[in-house]
Structure 1
């Protein structure tokens, strides 16, 4: 347990790929989840949660993210086609 606390102290806030790391012990995560659940029960905490209880992104959230990405790519593709048509007319 001592090693885990030391690792948390050393790594929390360090930059990785330009973003700060957030390091929590598993017991702290459970405490945060239960606090968040109580906020929801009282009508607070309107955050979108994309993770399941195991900490992994839920299947429906993954599907929604993929659909949004595909829509974005289709919109970008149609913009490019319109620009090319405009260039050919000139």
Structure 2
């Protein structure tokens, strides 16, 4: 689903999030598969991964391993509109 044209699972789509690569474009199917694999890999370590994710402040551990980004599109649009209105 994150490799589809919506760039998100249904829950992320409803909340206004999109999953992108480093160039802020849609991730491919192989990249999406690696993202799922890295998520499964990090869940094996349970509380240890949760503890690390508490201090990352941005992309979570599985996003860093798969080199993907989760962007809040609603917040990005609001900031863009504020910048336009302030000029």
Aligning the two structures, in what range does the TM-score lie when normalised by the shorter sequence? 0.3 to 0.5
TM-score by length of 1: 0.32
Rg larger for: 1
- From the two aligned structures, give the one with the greater strand fraction: 2
TM-score by length of 2: 0.32
Higher relative contact order (CA 8 A, sep 6+): 2
